[in-house]
Amino acid sequence: MSSVAGPRLNRSCRYSAELHKKTPLLLFSKTVTSGQIAFFMRIMHCLNQFSRSILRNAKLYSATVRPISIWFKRDLPASLPAVAWVTFGKRITPAILLLQLLLLGDFAHAAETFWGRPTGMTQSRLDSPISATWDQQSLREMLDRLSRAQQMPIILDRDFNADLVATLQFQQTPLETILLQIAGQSHSRMQVLGTGIWFGPTDRGNELRTRITLAIQATEALAKQRKVKGTPSLAVKQGWPWKEGVTLKQVIEQIAAQGEFRITNPEDIPHDLWATQSWPPMHPSAALTIALCQYNLTWEWSSFPDSVTIKPQQPVAQLRREYSATSEKQKQVVAMLEQAGKTISIEQEARSIVITGLVEDHELVQSLLSGTRAKKGGTAVPLSVKARRFSLKARNVSLKLVLDELAAGGIEFQCKGLPDQPDGSPNTMLMQEISVDVVDLPGQQFFEALLKGTRLSFKLDGLTVELASTGTE
């Protein structure tokens, strides 16, 4: 017997802020209604006319300043968010600058959004509570039912033990917690990829988004370098449904056909049969990377954009990015990265910090840079665990899973007297199941509720939580 119940999500128009490098392009980070979009369009029209008037009077007006164009996409499939696109001509007019001041604010320095970050609609689904019961069913059956009920594509890596049988029960539990618990059953990783979810080995999942980001960037760089004016087949995102029994070679051939390129060495594709899957919309470059990485293979352009060559996978390269930060904020970020156990490359300069690491490392840095608060004197300091407030609702989930999620938010855990088991798995006291339902509690009270009945004690010290066994039954 199995059941999955949960509320259907209302569609909303969600969009993020970004400044395009060549043609000014603004995507505003907010949830809006169609009425607000219409009001926004009227404001933009007035601002555009105003800017043209100023430019004419100053004899700076040029025909290259194009009118504002707006497309509002509605009634999209449930797996895609509605978006409002606002594009401008190649010159920045006072309308654009004024709009930035009025609406963008801090988003003028918006952080780079890396490939695979969950969309607004995906995150809303992950946060929504549902009830589910499975009695001696395989993880594949559980994920299949969740995928259909929540209209969320799921990718299963070939090394994910989807046939493992388990009994799980959840009552009004966030979908993300349920997915993490399912991944934990086979000691695997759950990774959000845009509008879909990936399950597979932890090591592979840690590098997946970075490998895909690098593949897409390499394609874009070649298109720019060789001045290829149009590669629509490589730019279009589409869903990828795979039927039961399809071979890896057929999968690769279908991706190549959609991208309008050929494989120079198809004989190097290993033979393997796939189960039924439905991947979320993504570029052919991303789909090819995901398909091949399961076999420790990758690809490169042999003749862009006509052919690619499959080759053995090498250690993943890392991304290098520079972030504006004062010297004080740099010190705080470096300290928090060290406490989080990150060993990424950090270069500190006068007014910026250079990070070399994986996509998730950069997203952590972005969150740390934006997640600091200022004292009255103006010095930015991180929020201690005691000063933070927590809300959590979970039922019958492992304590280790909850601690891992908290660690992802910048909290460091030190375990004393809790050695790993002989097989390398975490201490049994960390793997015990807990249930907790708290709302807006300060750090001290939150951890008291979290560890109640676990025979574990804790001590809060800045950004660190020290855990130890009480030694009592």
381, 400, 425 — which closes off a domain?
Answer: 381
Report the residue count for the chain: 473
Q: Based on the fold, state whether residues 161 and 254 are members of the same structural domain.
A: no
Q: Based on the fold, state whether residues 282 and 349 are members of the same structural domain.
A: no
200, 217, 233 — which closes off a domain?
Answer: 200
- 409 occurs within a structural domain: yes
- 255 occurs within a structural domain: yes
Alpha-carbon gap, residue 325 to 14, rounded angstroms: 28
* Secondary structure in 3-state letters for 285-346: HHHHHHHHHCCCEEEEEEECCCEEEEEECCCCCCEEEEEECCHHHHHHHHHHHHHCCCCCEE
The pair of structure tokens assigned to 100 is 């930035």
Q: Based on the fold, state whether residues 106 and 128 are members of the same structural domain.
A: no
E strands in 201-270: 238-242, 262-263
Domain count, the chain: 5
Q: 406: helix, coil or strand? A: helix
Alpha-carbon gap, residue 61 to 52, rounded angstroms: 7
Question: Can the peptide bond before residue 174 be classed as cis, meaning omega within 30 degrees of 0?
Answer: no
Q: Which residues pair with 200 in a beta bridge?
A: 189
Alpha-carbon gap, residue 248 to 292, rounded angstroms: 9
The pair of structure tokens assigned to 393 is 């609702």
Q: Based on the fold, state whether residues 98 and 30 are members of the same structural domain.
A: yes
- 6 occurs within a structural domain: no
Q: Based on the fold, state whether residues 66 and 130 are members of the same structural domain.
A: no
* DSSP designation for 118: P
- 362 occurs within a structural domain: yes
* DSSP designation for 417: S
Integer CA distances (angstroms), 305 to 224, 230, 231, 253, 281, in order? 12, 10, 8, 16, 21
Domain boundaries, position 261: 204-312
- 5 occurs within a structural domain: no
CATH number at residue 148: 3.55.50.30
Per-residue tens of pLDDT for the chain, all 473 residues: 444 444 333 333 333 333 333 333 333 333 444 455 556 666 666 666 665 555 455 443 333 333 333 333 333 333 223 333 333 343 444 444 444 434 333 333 345 678 888 888 888 899 899 999 999 999 999 999 999 999 899 999 999 999 999 999 888 889 998 998 899 888 899 999 989 999 999 999 999 999 999 998 888 888 888 876 555 567 678 889 999 999 999 999 999 999 899 999 999 999 999 999 999 999 899 999 999 999 999 999 999 989 999 999 999 888 999 988 888 888 888 888 877 667 788 898 888 899 999 998 888 888 888 763 333 322 333 567 887 778 788 888 889 888 887 876 668 888 888 887 787 778 888 888 888 888 878 889 899 999 988 889 999 987 889 999 886 54
User: 5: which residues sit within 8 A by CB, 6+ positions away?
Assistant: 130, 131, 132
Closest CA to 141 of 333, 4, 307: 4
CATH number at residue 339: 3.30.1370
Q: Based on the fold, state whether residues 349 and 274 are members of the same structural domain.
A: no
Alpha-carbon gap, residue 276 to 242, rounded angstroms: 5
Q: Based on the fold, state whether residues 194 and 219 are members of the same structural domain.
A: no
Q: Based on the fold, state whether residues 341 and 396 are members of the same structural domain.
A: no
- For the four alpha carbons of 295, 292, 363 and 156, in that order, the dihedral sign comes to negative
Q: Based on the fold, state whether residues 28 and 108 are members of the same structural domain.
A: yes
- 370 occurs within a structural domain: yes
Q: Based on the fold, state whether residues 194 and 220 are members of the same structural domain.
A: no
- 9 occurs within a structural domain: no
Q: Based on the fold, state whether residues 139 and 96 are members of the same structural domain.
A: no
- 3 occurs within a structural domain: no
312, 342, 359 — which closes off a domain?
Answer: 312
Q: 135: helix, coil or strand? A: strand
Q: Based on the fold, state whether residues 177 and 106 are members of the same structural domain.
A: no
Q: Is residue 135 within 8 Å of 2, Cβ to Cβ?
A: yes
Closest CA to 156 of 280, 2, 316: 280
